[in-house]
Amino acid sequence: MQIKIAVLPGDGIGPEVMRAALKTLKHVAEKFQTETQFSENLIGGASFEEFGTPLTEETLKACLEADAVLLGAVGGYEWENLPHHLKPEAALLRLRKELALFTNIRPAKVYNAFIDSSSLKAEVLKGTDFVVFRELTGGIYFGEPRGYDANQGWNTMIYQRYEVERIARRAFEIARQRKKRVTSVDKANVLEVSQFWREVVADVHKAFPDVELTNMYVDNAAMQIVRDPGQFDVIVTSNMFGDILSDIAGMITGSLGMLPSASLGEKHALYEPVHGSAPDIAGQNKANPIAMIASVAMMFAYSFQMTRAAELIERAIEKTLELGYRTADIYQAGNKLVSTDEMTEQIIYNFDVLY
Protein backbone atom coordinates (compact mmCIF):
# COMPACT_ATOMS: atom_id res chain seq x y z
CA MET A 1 0.00 0.00 0.00
CA GLN A 2 1.07 3.55 -0.62
CA ILE A 3 -0.08 6.44 1.55
CA LYS A 4 0.16 10.10 0.66
CA ILE A 5 0.43 12.53 3.54
CA ALA A 6 0.40 16.33 3.62
CA VAL A 7 2.57 17.58 6.47
CA LEU A 8 1.91 21.01 7.99
CA PRO A 9 4.26 21.63 10.92
CA GLY A 10 2.99 25.17 11.62
CA ASP A 11 4.20 27.41 14.45
CA GLY A 12 5.65 27.24 17.96
CA ILE A 13 6.14 23.67 19.10
CA GLY A 14 4.38 22.47 15.93
CA PRO A 15 7.61 21.69 14.02
CA GLU A 16 9.15 19.92 17.05
CA VAL A 17 6.22 17.61 17.73
CA MET A 18 5.81 17.05 13.99
CA ARG A 19 9.42 15.92 13.70
CA ALA A 20 8.73 13.45 16.51
CA ALA A 21 5.54 12.21 14.87
CA LEU A 22 7.14 11.81 11.43
CA LYS A 23 10.01 9.83 12.89
CA THR A 24 7.48 7.50 14.51
CA LEU A 25 5.29 7.38 11.39
CA LYS A 26 8.18 6.45 9.08
CA HIS A 27 9.34 3.77 11.47
CA VAL A 28 5.85 2.24 11.76
CA ALA A 29 5.19 2.44 8.01
CA GLU A 30 8.41 0.62 7.29
CA LYS A 31 7.52 -2.14 9.76
CA PHE A 32 4.15 -2.54 8.08
CA GLN A 33 5.61 -2.41 4.57
CA THR A 34 3.65 0.69 3.75
CA GLU A 35 5.14 3.09 1.26
CA THR A 36 4.84 6.73 2.27
CA GLN A 37 4.86 9.88 0.23
CA PHE A 38 5.07 13.24 1.97
CA SER A 39 4.51 16.82 0.95
CA GLU A 40 5.55 19.44 3.50
CA ASN A 41 4.24 23.00 3.53
CA LEU A 42 4.15 26.07 5.70
CA ILE A 43 0.92 27.12 7.39
CA GLY A 44 -0.13 29.79 9.90
CA GLY A 45 2.37 32.37 11.10
CA ALA A 46 5.25 30.59 9.37
CA SER A 47 3.42 30.90 6.05
CA PHE A 48 2.51 34.53 6.71
CA GLU A 49 6.19 35.39 7.27
CA GLU A 50 7.22 33.73 4.02
CA PHE A 51 4.28 34.48 1.71
CA GLY A 52 2.17 37.17 3.42
CA THR A 53 -0.76 34.78 3.86
CA PRO A 54 -1.38 32.07 6.48
CA LEU A 55 -2.55 29.60 3.82
CA THR A 56 -1.25 29.54 0.26
CA GLU A 57 -3.10 27.92 -2.64
CA GLU A 58 -0.16 25.54 -2.97
CA THR A 59 -0.54 24.32 0.61
CA LEU A 60 -4.27 23.93 0.13
CA LYS A 61 -3.71 21.96 -3.08
CA ALA A 62 -1.24 19.62 -1.35
CA CYS A 63 -3.84 18.94 1.35
CA LEU A 64 -6.62 18.29 -1.16
CA GLU A 65 -4.39 15.83 -3.03
CA ALA A 66 -3.28 13.90 0.05
CA ASP A 67 -4.93 10.88 1.68
CA ALA A 68 -4.48 12.52 5.07
CA VAL A 69 -3.24 15.81 6.50
CA LEU A 70 -1.04 16.04 9.60
CA LEU A 71 -1.05 19.41 11.33
CA GLY A 72 1.18 20.56 14.19
CA ALA A 73 -0.25 23.80 15.55
CA VAL A 74 -0.66 27.40 14.43
CA GLY A 75 -0.48 30.74 16.22
CA GLY A 76 1.80 32.86 18.34
CA TYR A 77 2.14 36.24 20.02
CA GLU A 78 3.71 37.92 17.01
CA TRP A 79 0.61 37.47 14.84
CA GLU A 80 -2.10 38.27 17.36
CA ASN A 81 -2.72 41.81 16.11
CA LEU A 82 -3.02 41.02 12.42
CA PRO A 83 -6.37 41.53 10.71
CA HIS A 84 -8.66 38.53 11.06
CA HIS A 85 -8.09 36.99 7.64
CA LEU A 86 -4.30 37.08 8.03
CA LYS A 87 -4.17 35.49 11.47
CA PRO A 88 -2.70 31.97 11.67
CA GLU A 89 -6.04 30.62 12.93
CA ALA A 90 -7.75 31.82 9.73
CA ALA A 91 -5.70 29.23 7.84
CA LEU A 92 -7.21 26.44 9.90
CA LEU A 93 -10.77 27.64 9.43
CA ARG A 94 -10.32 27.83 5.66
CA LEU A 95 -8.57 24.46 5.52
CA ARG A 96 -11.32 22.74 7.52
CA LYS A 97 -13.91 24.25 5.23
CA GLU A 98 -12.13 23.35 1.98
CA LEU A 99 -11.60 19.78 3.16
CA ALA A 100 -15.29 19.62 4.21
CA LEU A 101 -14.46 18.08 7.57
CA PHE A 102 -17.82 17.43 9.21
CA THR A 103 -16.76 15.26 12.15
CA ASN A 104 -14.30 15.98 14.90
CA ILE A 105 -13.14 12.99 16.90
CA ARG A 106 -11.44 13.25 20.24
CA PRO A 107 -10.46 10.19 22.21
CA ALA A 108 -10.61 10.05 25.97
CA LYS A 109 -8.10 7.43 26.90
CA VAL A 110 -6.81 7.08 30.41
CA TYR A 111 -3.27 5.79 30.67
CA ASN A 112 -2.94 3.48 33.64
CA ALA A 113 0.46 4.98 34.43
CA PHE A 114 -1.32 8.27 35.11
CA ILE A 115 -4.12 7.20 37.36
CA ASP A 116 -2.33 7.86 40.64
CA SER A 117 -1.66 11.47 39.76
CA SER A 118 -5.21 12.17 38.61
CA SER A 119 -7.75 13.89 40.81
CA LEU A 120 -10.34 11.24 40.02
CA LYS A 121 -10.58 7.89 41.76
CA ALA A 122 -8.56 5.05 40.29
CA GLU A 123 -11.45 2.62 40.16
CA VAL A 124 -13.54 5.14 38.22
CA LEU A 125 -10.85 5.88 35.65
CA LYS A 126 -9.33 2.50 35.07
CA GLY A 127 -9.89 1.22 31.54
CA THR A 128 -11.46 4.44 30.28
CA ASP A 129 -11.12 4.45 26.51
CA PHE A 130 -13.79 6.15 24.44
CA VAL A 131 -14.07 8.64 21.58
CA VAL A 132 -16.36 11.64 21.13
CA PHE A 133 -17.70 12.32 17.63
CA ARG A 134 -18.70 15.95 17.43
CA GLU A 135 -20.64 17.19 14.40
CA LEU A 136 -18.60 20.11 13.16
CA THR A 137 -20.29 21.98 10.33
CA GLY A 138 -23.96 22.21 11.31
CA GLY A 139 -26.25 22.73 14.28
CA ILE A 140 -26.78 25.85 16.33
CA TYR A 141 -23.33 27.30 15.57
CA PHE A 142 -24.26 27.74 11.91
CA GLY A 143 -28.07 27.76 11.84
CA GLU A 144 -30.07 30.67 10.40
CA PRO A 145 -31.75 32.92 11.40
CA ARG A 146 -29.37 34.24 13.99
CA GLY A 147 -28.79 37.62 15.57
CA TYR A 148 -29.63 39.95 18.41
CA ASP A 149 -31.04 43.40 18.99
CA ALA A 150 -31.62 45.49 22.08
CA ASN A 151 -34.44 43.27 23.29
CA GLN A 152 -33.64 39.74 22.21
CA GLY A 153 -31.04 37.33 20.92
CA TRP A 154 -31.68 34.23 18.80
CA ASN A 155 -30.03 31.25 17.16
CA THR A 156 -31.36 28.28 15.26
CA MET A 157 -30.54 24.68 15.95
CA ILE A 158 -31.13 22.86 12.71
CA TYR A 159 -29.94 19.57 11.23
CA GLN A 160 -30.49 18.17 7.76
CA ARG A 161 -31.03 14.44 7.38
CA TYR A 162 -27.77 13.97 5.41
CA GLU A 163 -25.79 15.75 8.11
CA VAL A 164 -26.97 13.35 10.79
CA GLU A 165 -26.71 10.31 8.54
CA ARG A 166 -23.09 10.82 7.56
CA ILE A 167 -21.78 11.34 11.09
CA ALA A 168 -23.88 8.46 12.45
CA ARG A 169 -22.55 6.17 9.74
CA ARG A 170 -18.97 7.10 10.61
CA ALA A 171 -19.63 6.52 14.30
CA PHE A 172 -21.06 3.04 13.69
CA GLU A 173 -18.21 2.16 11.30
CA ILE A 174 -15.55 3.12 13.80
CA ALA A 175 -17.42 1.46 16.68
CA ARG A 176 -17.04 -1.74 14.65
CA GLN A 177 -13.24 -1.34 14.92
CA ARG A 178 -13.62 -0.83 18.68
CA LYS A 179 -15.99 -2.14 21.36
CA LYS A 180 -19.10 -1.98 19.13
CA ARG A 181 -21.07 0.42 21.32
CA VAL A 182 -22.48 3.79 20.23
CA THR A 183 -24.08 6.31 22.57
CA SER A 184 -25.98 9.03 20.74
CA VAL A 185 -26.30 12.13 22.91
CA ASP A 186 -29.13 14.65 22.51
CA LYS A 187 -31.79 16.57 24.41
CA ALA A 188 -34.81 14.84 22.90
CA ASN A 189 -36.97 15.45 25.97
CA VAL A 190 -36.94 19.18 25.17
CA LEU A 191 -35.80 19.75 21.57
CA GLU A 192 -37.55 18.67 18.38
CA VAL A 193 -34.26 18.81 16.49
CA SER A 194 -33.01 16.18 18.95
CA GLN A 195 -36.03 13.96 18.33
CA PHE A 196 -35.21 14.19 14.64
CA TRP A 197 -31.53 13.42 15.36
CA ARG A 198 -32.55 10.37 17.37
CA GLU A 199 -34.81 9.02 14.60
CA VAL A 200 -32.17 9.44 11.90
CA VAL A 201 -29.50 7.75 14.04
CA ALA A 202 -31.91 4.84 14.63
CA ASP A 203 -32.46 4.57 10.86
CA VAL A 204 -28.72 4.45 10.15
CA HIS A 205 -28.32 1.89 12.92
CA LYS A 206 -30.39 -0.63 10.93
CA ALA A 207 -27.35 -1.27 8.72
CA PHE A 208 -25.19 -1.97 11.80
CA PRO A 209 -27.09 -4.59 13.81
CA ASP A 210 -23.83 -5.85 15.36
CA VAL A 211 -23.27 -2.47 17.05
CA GLU A 212 -25.22 -1.60 20.20
CA LEU A 213 -26.96 1.81 20.16
CA THR A 214 -27.97 3.71 23.31
CA ASN A 215 -29.53 7.18 23.50
CA MET A 216 -28.67 9.54 26.33
CA TYR A 217 -29.66 13.08 27.28
CA VAL A 218 -26.74 15.48 27.26
CA ASP A 219 -27.06 16.48 30.92
CA ASN A 220 -26.97 12.84 31.94
CA ALA A 221 -24.06 12.18 29.57
CA ALA A 222 -22.00 14.95 31.17
CA MET A 223 -22.59 13.36 34.55
CA GLN A 224 -21.94 9.81 33.36
CA ILE A 225 -18.60 10.76 31.76
CA VAL A 226 -17.38 11.90 35.16
CA ARG A 227 -19.16 9.20 37.21
CA ASP A 228 -18.42 6.09 35.12
CA PRO A 229 -16.44 6.85 31.94
CA GLY A 230 -15.67 3.17 31.40
CA GLN A 231 -19.23 2.57 30.10
CA PHE A 232 -18.60 4.50 26.86
CA ASP A 233 -17.07 3.44 23.57
CA VAL A 234 -18.22 5.86 20.85
CA ILE A 235 -20.25 8.95 21.75
CA VAL A 236 -21.85 10.71 18.78
CA THR A 237 -23.44 14.10 19.16
CA SER A 238 -24.22 17.50 17.67
CA ASN A 239 -21.91 20.47 17.36
CA MET A 240 -22.67 22.31 20.60
CA PHE A 241 -23.11 19.26 22.83
CA GLY A 242 -19.93 17.79 21.38
CA ASP A 243 -18.01 20.99 22.00
CA ILE A 244 -18.76 20.68 25.70
CA LEU A 245 -18.54 16.91 26.09
CA SER A 246 -15.20 16.60 24.29
CA ASP A 247 -13.67 19.11 26.70
CA ILE A 248 -14.98 17.20 29.70
CA ALA A 249 -13.76 13.94 28.18
CA GLY A 250 -10.32 15.39 27.48
CA MET A 251 -9.81 16.72 30.94
CA ILE A 252 -10.53 13.50 32.80
CA THR A 253 -7.60 11.88 31.03
CA GLY A 254 -4.67 14.03 32.05
CA SER A 255 -2.61 16.60 30.22
CA LEU A 256 -3.18 18.79 27.18
CA GLY A 257 0.08 17.46 25.77
CA MET A 258 -1.43 13.98 25.46
CA LEU A 259 -4.67 14.63 23.57
CA PRO A 260 -4.87 13.82 19.85
CA SER A 261 -7.74 14.57 17.47
CA ALA A 262 -9.06 13.65 14.05
CA SER A 263 -11.35 15.62 11.77
CA LEU A 264 -12.98 13.60 9.02
CA GLY A 265 -14.85 14.50 5.88
CA GLU A 266 -16.25 12.34 3.11
CA LYS A 267 -12.98 12.43 1.13
CA HIS A 268 -10.44 14.11 3.40
CA ALA A 269 -9.06 13.79 6.91
CA LEU A 270 -6.95 15.97 9.17
CA TYR A 271 -5.13 14.88 12.31
CA GLU A 272 -3.77 17.27 14.91
CA PRO A 273 -3.07 17.53 18.63
CA VAL A 274 -5.71 19.29 20.73
CA HIS A 275 -3.08 21.60 22.19
CA GLY A 276 -1.97 24.85 20.59
CA SER A 277 1.44 26.12 19.51
CA ALA A 278 2.66 26.67 23.11
CA PRO A 279 5.01 29.54 22.19
CA ASP A 280 6.18 29.70 25.81
CA ILE A 281 8.17 26.47 25.40
CA ALA A 282 8.86 26.48 21.64
CA GLY A 283 12.33 25.59 20.40
CA GLN A 284 13.45 24.07 23.69
CA ASN A 285 13.04 20.37 22.89
CA LYS A 286 10.78 19.93 25.89
CA ALA A 287 7.30 19.79 24.34
CA ASN A 288 5.34 16.59 24.91
CA PRO A 289 5.14 14.79 21.54
CA ILE A 290 2.50 12.27 22.67
CA ALA A 291 -0.56 14.16 21.38
CA MET A 292 1.00 14.43 17.92
CA ILE A 293 2.21 10.82 17.90
CA ALA A 294 -1.23 9.63 19.06
CA SER A 295 -2.71 11.69 16.20
CA VAL A 296 -0.60 9.59 13.83
CA ALA A 297 -2.06 6.46 15.44
CA MET A 298 -5.55 7.79 14.72
CA MET A 299 -4.50 8.42 11.13
CA PHE A 300 -3.40 4.82 10.67
CA ALA A 301 -6.69 3.56 12.12
CA TYR A 302 -9.18 5.93 10.49
CA SER A 303 -7.64 6.79 7.13
CA PHE A 304 -5.87 3.53 6.35
CA GLN A 305 -7.69 0.91 8.47
CA MET A 306 -4.29 -0.09 9.90
CA THR A 307 -5.74 -0.82 13.31
CA ARG A 308 -2.85 -2.99 14.46
CA ALA A 309 -0.32 -0.27 13.70
CA ALA A 310 -2.49 2.20 15.60
CA GLU A 311 -2.87 -0.13 18.56
CA LEU A 312 0.86 -0.78 18.75
CA ILE A 313 1.63 2.95 18.77
CA GLU A 314 -0.86 3.45 21.59
CA ARG A 315 0.55 0.56 23.55
CA ALA A 316 4.08 1.87 23.02
CA ILE A 317 3.02 5.23 24.46
CA GLU A 318 1.40 3.45 27.39
CA LYS A 319 4.48 1.33 28.02
CA THR A 320 6.81 4.33 27.86
CA LEU A 321 4.70 6.08 30.48
CA GLU A 322 4.61 2.95 32.62
CA LEU A 323 8.42 2.88 32.55
CA GLY A 324 8.35 6.36 34.09
CA TYR A 325 9.42 8.54 31.17
CA ARG A 326 7.90 12.03 31.31
CA THR A 327 8.33 15.31 29.51
CA ALA A 328 8.33 18.39 31.74
CA ASP A 329 4.57 19.07 31.45
CA ILE A 330 3.66 15.71 33.03
CA TYR A 331 6.71 15.25 35.24
CA GLN A 332 6.36 14.35 38.90
CA ALA A 333 9.02 13.54 41.49
CA GLY A 334 10.45 10.09 40.88
CA ASN A 335 9.84 10.11 37.10
CA LYS A 336 12.54 10.13 34.45
CA LEU A 337 12.53 13.61 32.91
CA VAL A 338 13.12 13.46 29.14
CA SER A 339 13.17 15.80 26.15
CA THR A 340 10.85 15.68 23.14
CA ASP A 341 13.45 13.68 21.20
CA GLU A 342 14.16 11.25 24.04
CA MET A 343 10.46 10.60 24.61
CA THR A 344 10.08 9.86 20.90
CA GLU A 345 13.03 7.47 20.90
CA GLN A 346 11.57 5.63 23.89
CA ILE A 347 8.19 5.30 22.19
CA ILE A 348 9.81 3.94 19.03
CA TYR A 349 11.97 1.59 21.09
CA ASN A 350 8.92 0.24 22.94
CA PHE A 351 7.03 -0.08 19.66
CA ASP A 352 9.75 -2.46 18.52
CA VAL A 353 9.61 -4.37 21.80
CA LEU A 354 5.86 -4.85 21.39
CA TYR A 355 5.88 -5.48 17.64
For the annotated binding site for Mg(2+), the residues are 219, 243, 247
Query: What's the min distance (Å) between Cβ of 276 and Mg ion?
Result: 4
Least distance from C-beta 88 to ligand ATP, angstroms? 9
Active site annotation includes 247: yes
Q: For Cα atoms 236, 233, 325, give the angle at the middle one, nearest 5 degrees.
A: 115
Binding residue for ligand ATP (CB under 6 A) from 242, 250, 257, 260?
257
SS3 (DSSP) at 256: helix
Helical pair 340-354 and 14-31, crossing angle rounded to 10 deg: 20
| 141 assigned to active site | yes
Does residue 257 bind Mg ion (CB under 5 A)?
no
Q: Which stretch binds ligand ATP (CB under 6 A): 34-42, 122-130, 205-213, 272-280?
A: 272-280
Can 243 be counted among the known catalytic residues? yes
Instruction: Tell me which of ligand ATP, Mg ion, none is bound by residue 87, counting a contact when its beta carbon lies within the kind-specific cut-off of 5 to 8 angstroms.
Output: none
Interatomic CA distance for residues 69 and 313, integer angstroms: 18
Give the residues across from 234 on adjacent strands. 131, 182
Q: Which of 186, 187, 271, 302 is catalytic?
A: 187
Contact present, 93 and 262 (Cβ < 8 Å)? no
Residue nearest to ligand ATP (CB): 276
Task: Tally helices (H) and strands (E) across the chain.
Answer: 12, 14
Residue 206 appears among annotated catalytic residues = no
- Choose the contact partner of 67 out of ligand ATP, Mg ion, none; CB within 5 to 8 A by kind: none
Judged by CB under 5 A, the stretch of 69-77, 84-92, 152-160, 170-178 that binds Mg ion is 69-77
Query: Which residue intervals of the chain are DSSP H helices?
Result: 14-31, 45-51, 57-65, 88-98, 122-125, 161-176, 192-205, 218-227, 239-251, 290-304, 307-322, 340-354
Enumerate the known binding-site residues for substrate. 96, 106, 134, 219
CA 266 to chain centre: 17
Nearest Cα residue to 164 out of 207, 133, 131, 209: 133
Q: Does 104 bind ligand ATP (CB under 6 A)?
A: no
Read off φ and ψ for residue 148, nearest 5 degrees: -155, 155
Site for Mg ion (CB under 5 A): how many residues?
Answer: 2
Annotated catalytic residue, options 4, 67, 129, 141: 141
Angle at 299 between CA 340 and CA 160, to 5 degrees: 130
Nearer to ligand ATP, 123 or 280 (CB): 280
Query: Binding residue for ligand ATP (CB under 6 A) from 87, 166, 268, 275?
Result: 275
6-35 residues near ligand ATP, rule: CB under 6 A:
13, 17
Nearest alpha carbon to residue 160 among 214, 208, 185, 196? 196
**26 classed as catalytic:** no
Alpha helical stretches, state H, 188-262: 192-205, 218-227, 239-251
276 forms part of the interface with Mg ion (CB under 5 A): yes
CA distances from 121 to 55, 67, 128, 227, 321 (A): 44, 41, 12, 10, 19
Which part of the chain contacts ligand ATP (CB under 6 A), choosing from 119-127, 155-163, 216-224, 281-289?
A: 281-289
Interface residue with ligand ATP, options 8, 21, 91, 281 (CB under 6 A):
281
Catalytic one among 111, 233, 243, 271?
A: 243
Applying CB under 6 A, among 262, 276, 338, 346 the residue interacting with ligand ATP is 276
Q: List residues near ligand ATP by CB under 6 A.
A: 13, 17, 75, 256-257, 275-278, 280-281, 287-288, 291, 329
Active site residues per annotation: 141, 187, 219, 243, 247
Q: List residues near Mg ion by CB under 5 A.
A: 75, 276
